Structure 1
C-alpha cells in the first residue's frame, strides 16, 4: 500500500492502518508476503527463487537503469544519459555561448537545470510512491529525449535554456537508481546496487570533461555532439524501460481505491509552496554576486521571499493538509536528518571541487582544451571511484557510522589541503584532488544508500526525493559562497599584485592605467598596445594574475573545512544501521503477461462461483 494515508501504511481488510516509525528512524519490520500473492510488494530473499533474478523484467530493468549494453563497453543507459546530459553540457557552456551568443543569459542554461532538478526530485519521489514508478519513469525519459533534441537543434541561448529546463526536470528520473534499484533487492545488498549503477556510469560521470573538450576540438558539430550522445543513450534506455520495467502498479499499491479519489487527496497547496519557495530562493542565490550585487534589492527580496515561503511550507504541512506532501514525521526522524546533514556537507565540499578544479586547471596549469579535460577528470573520476568503492565497502564491512566518519574526516582534510594549490603545484594538487574526491564519493554515497533504511518501503521515493532536493539547495548555497569569495578575493589581490609586478618588471608608471584597462578588456591585442610593454613585463603580469588567483583559491578551500566539520559533527550522533541489513525485499517486479493471465483466470473463477451460487439458489 502506498503513502497518501500518512507516513506509514499497510493494507487491512477494513482500509488502512497508519503507523509511524520511532524518532530514531528505525523503521518497523515489513510485513512478509508470498511471491505469488499478486501484490508485487514486500517479501524475503528466501521466498524469491533464483529464477526471479534471471527474469527478463529484472535483468532488463537493471540494464535499462545502469547496465552494459551488449557490445557497447560500459554504457550505463538512463543513468549514464543523466550524467551525459549535464556533464558534457556544463563543460561546453563557453563554446555554446560563443556560437549562439554572446549573451549574459547563457548563465541561465545551468541555472534552469538546477532549478527544475531541485523541484522534480521531491515530486517524482513522492508521486511515484503513490501511483507507481513505471509511467513516471517512462514519461521522465521522454521529457529527457525532447530536451536533448531541443539542445541539439538549438539556434539561440533561449532555446538552450528551454532544453535544460526539460533536462533538469527529467534528471531525478534518469538518476533514480537510489530509489528504484535498492527496493528490488534484499536490504543487505542495497549497497551493491549503487556500486553497480555508478560503476557503469563512468563514461558520463568520470570521462565527461574529456569527452566534452574532445568533441569541441575534434568534431564538426562540436558541442552539439554532447546532445546527440544524450539522444542515443536515452533512446536505448527508454526502449528497455518500456519493455522490461514493471514495478508494482497503482492497483497493487492502492488496492481497490480509484485514481481520482487518490488524486483528490494530493497536497496541492504543499506542492505550490514547495515549488515557489525553492525556485525563488535558488534564483536569489544565483543572482547574488553575478547579475546583481549581493546587497541589491533583487537578491535580498528573492532570497528572503523564497526562504519565508519554505518556512510557510513547513507550517502548512504541520496544520493544514490531511495528507501532507512532506510528513513532519520524516522531518522528526533523527537518523534521516543526520544522514541529510552529512550528505549536504559532503555535497557542499564536493561542489568546491566541481567549481574550482576546472578553473584551477585552466587558469594555473594549461590552456589546451583536451588537456584541461584530462586534468579535470582527476576530480570527476575520483568522485566516481569513491561512489563505486562506497557501495562495495557498504556491504563488505558494514559499520556504516564509522565508514562515514572516516570518509568525512578524510574528505575535509584533503579538500582543505587544496588550499596549498599554486601554479607550481600541478602534480601535488592532482594527487590531493584524487584522494579528496574519492573520500567525497564515500560521503556522497553512504547517505544516499542509507536514507531508504530510515523509512518504510512505501516512502522510499519520498525520503530520497526530500534528501536530493535539499542537497541540491545546499549545493547551490555552497557554489554561491565559493564564487563570491573567489571573485572578490581575486579582484582585491590583483589590485595589489599586478601593479607591483608590472612596475617591478620595468613598465613605466604612466602606462599602468592603460595596462589595467587592457587586462579588463581581456584581449591580447589590447595588451600589446600598452606603451612600454615587452615579453618580460607580460610574463610578470601573468605570474601576478596566477598568484592572485591561487591566493583566492586558498580562502575558498579553507572555507570548506567549516562545511566538513558540520558533517563530522552530524556523523558522530548517528546510530548504526547494520541490524537493518536483512533478507527482506521491499518491492518485486511482476510479469505483465503472467499477471494478465492470472487476472483473467481469477475473473473467470469468480463468474463461475456466481453462476454456481445462482443455480443452487434456483
Structure 2
C-alpha cells in the first residue's frame, strides 16, 4: 500500500498556514476518510489519557479541606496542593509539544470531526471530574485507611488509572508519521535542533517566578530575600526567553509560524484567563463548600456536581454546535459572557443558602469552562500548520496552566488578606454582643483560629450562645472573604471578552482534511 494511503494524510506546504485556505486542498480532492477499528482503538487510548489526567487534576483539589484536617499545622500552605499540579503542567507543556511533534503524537482525524471528538473527550474528562470528588468523598467519609486518611485512596486509584492508560497507549496508540517541516531529517538530528536554550529559559523562569508567587505573603513576607530573588530572577529569565524567541531564534518554542494567524495569539490569552477559573475554581470551590455549607465529604462532591457536570454539557454542546455551524467566534464570546455572569453571581453568595442558589452560578462557570476549553483547542488546531499542531496545542495547555498557577496565587493572596482583615472584627463584635467578657476576647480569637471547640469552652465567660455567635460570625466572615476572589476575576473576564470579538472566522478551515493518519 502506498504511503499516502497508509497514513490517509494531506500535507500543508512547508511553512504554510492552516488559516490560509489557498494552502489547503479542497474537500473534493481530499482522500476519503473511513472509520475503522484501529481509529476507535487509538481513540480509546487517548480518552483513557483524558480520564486519568483529569482524575489526577481534580482529586487533589477536591481533597484539600480534608488533607488540611489531617495536617492542620500546615493549613497556611494548602494552596500548594493545587499549585503542585498546575506549575509542573505549565512548565512541561512548553516542551512536550515540540518533543511530541518530533517523536510522534499527531491528530489522526479529519478537521471537520475535531469538534465532535473534542466534545467526546470533554465528556470523558467530565466523567472523571464528577466521579472523582464523590468517590474520594466516600473514602474520606468512611475513613478508609484510618481516621482522616481516606483522601489517600483517591491518589492510589490515580496511580492505577495511569498504569491502565500506559498499557492502552502501548497496545493501541499508533499514529502515522507526522507531516514534517524538516523533510527527511532524522529524529536524532531533530532532537539536536530543539530550542534547548529556550527550554532552559522558559522552564527555569516559570518555576522560579511561580514559586516566588506562591511563597509571597504565605509563608514568607513579600519583602523577604527568598521571595524577591525567585520573583526577580524568574522574571528576568522569562523576559530573556521572550527576547530570544522573538528576535534571535524564530523556530524555537514560540515558533513564528504559529503566530501567522491572528487566532493563535488571541487563543493563548483567552486560555490563560480560562485557566484562572479552571484551576482556581477547582482549588477554591471545595474549600468554599466545606466552610460555608457542609463538611460531609460526599456532599462536598455533590455540591461540586453543577460545575463538573455542566462542564460536560458545555464541552459536548459547543462541539455539536461548532460541528454544525463551523464557527467558533460566537461560542467563545458567549463563554466569556458566562464567565462574567458567573463571577458576579458567585460574589453575592451567602452562607447556608439552598442548593438551588448555589447551582446556578457554578453551573454557569461549568458551561463556560467546558465550552471555552474545547472551542479554543479546536480553533488553535485549525489555524496552525499541520506539522506544528502538537506544538501549538501544548502551548495552549501551557498558557491555561500558567493562568491557573497565577490564578491560584492571586486567589490565595486575596483570600488570606481579606480573611485577616474581616474575621477578627466580625467574630469580636458577635461574641461580645453574645456576652463574652472583653478580657477573654484575645484568648477566644486565638482559639477560634485553631478551631478547637473543647479548648474554647475552657475560656472564662464562654457559653453555648457565645460559641454559636462566634461560629456564625466566622462563617459569614469567610463568605465575605471568598467573594473578593470572584470580584478579582471580573476585570480579566471583561478584557478577554472584548478580545474574543477579534477572533477570525473558522468556517473556511473546517474541511474534511486529514492532518495525519494512523498506522494499520
Aligned to 1:214: 138
| Displacement of 1:576 | 1.0
What TM-score do the two structures reach when normalised by structure 2? Answer: 0.89
The answer (yes or no) to whether the contact 1:348–1:474 under 8 Å persists in 2 is yes
Q: Give me the whole-angstrom Cα distance separating, in 2, the residues matched to 1:81 and 1:325.
A: 27
| 2:379 paired with 1:379 | no
Is the aligned partner of 1:63 residue 2:41? no
2:32 corresponds to which residue?
48
CA contact (8 A) 1:188 1:582 kept: yes
Q: Secondary structure at the match of 2:519?
A: coil
Name the SS for the 1:231 alignment partner: helix
Does residue 587 of structure 1 match 2:516? yes
- Cα deviation for residue 564 of structure 1 reads 0.7
Out of 341, 344, 356, the position equivalent to 1:416 is: 344
Cα distance in structure 2, aligned partners of 1:251 and 1:357: 42
The separation in 1 between residues aligned to 2:152 and 2:21, in whole angstroms, is 47
Q: Say if 2:12 is the partner of 1:88.
A: no
Alpha carbons of structure 1 residues 333 and 253: separation in structure 2 relative to 1, 3 Å: closer
Please state if 1:258 is matched with 2:186: yes
Superposition deviation, residue 223 in structure 1: 2.9
Task: Give 1:355's match in structure 2, choosing from 276, 280, 283.
Answer: 283
8 Å contact kept, 1:27–1:453: no
Equivalence map 1:28-427=2 (5 Å): 29-30=23-24, 47-48=31-32, 50=34, 53-55=35-37, 57-66=38-47, 77-93=48-64, 95=66, 108-133=80-105, 180=106, 183-218=107-142, 220-221=144-145, 222-249=150-177, 256-321=184-249, 323-331=251-259, 333-427=261-355
Secondary structure (helix, strand or coil) at the match of 2:23 reads coil
**Alignment partners' CA distance in 2, 1:96 and 1:424:** 23
- Answer with 253-262 or 274-283: which moved more: 253-262
* Other structure's SS at 2:347 match: helix
- CA shift, 1:330, in A, is 2.7
Q: 2: CA distance between counterparts of 1:460 and 1:251? A: 10
Aligned pair 1:576/2:500, yes or no? no
- Which of the numbers 430, 436, 444 marks the counterpart of 1:515? 444
Output one character per residue of 1:54-81: Cα deviation in whole Å (capped at 9) or x when no partner: 13x2111111111xxxxxxxxxx22111
TM-superposed CA distance for 1:286, in Å, is 1.3
* Separation of aligned partners in 1, 2:28 and 2:210: 42
TM-score (norm 1): 0.76
Structure 1 distance, partners of 2:60, 2:206, is 24
Do the aligned partners of residues 544 and 93 (structure 1) sit closer, same or farther apart at CA in structure 2, a change above 3 Å counting? closer
In our comparison, the structure showing a higher alpha carbon Rg is 1
* Structure 1 equivalent of residue 433 of structure 2: 504
Taking structure 1 as reference, are residues 228 and 356 closer, same or farther at Cα in structure 2, changes over 3 Å only? closer
Change (3 A) 1:274 1:293: same
> Quick one: which of 479, 483, 489 aligns to 1:550?
479
CA-CA distance at 1:323 after TM superposition: 4.1
Once structures 1 and 2 are overlaid, which stretch shifts more, 494-503 or 325-334? Answer: 325-334
Query: Taking CA–CA contacts closer than 8 Å with sequence separation of 6 or more, which of the two structures ends up with the larger relative contact order?
Result: 2
| Residues matched between the structures, number | 505
| C-alpha separation in 2, matches of 1:116 and 1:423 | 35
Say which SS state the counterpart of residue 184 (structure 1) adopts. Answer: coil
Structure 2 CA distance, aligned partners of 1:332 and 1:298? 40
Alpha-carbon distance in structure 2 between the residues aligned to 1:571 and 1:579? 19
Does the aligned pair in 2 maintain the 1:349–1:415 contact within 8 Å?
A: no
**Closer/same/farther in 2, CA of residues 346 and 264 from structure 1, 3 Å limit:** closer
> Does the residue aligned with 1:220 lie in a helix, a strand or coil?
coil
Distance 1:460 1:396 in 2: 23
In the TM superposition, residue 493 of structure 1 has moved relative to its aligned partner by 1.2
Distance 2:297 2:33 in 1: 52
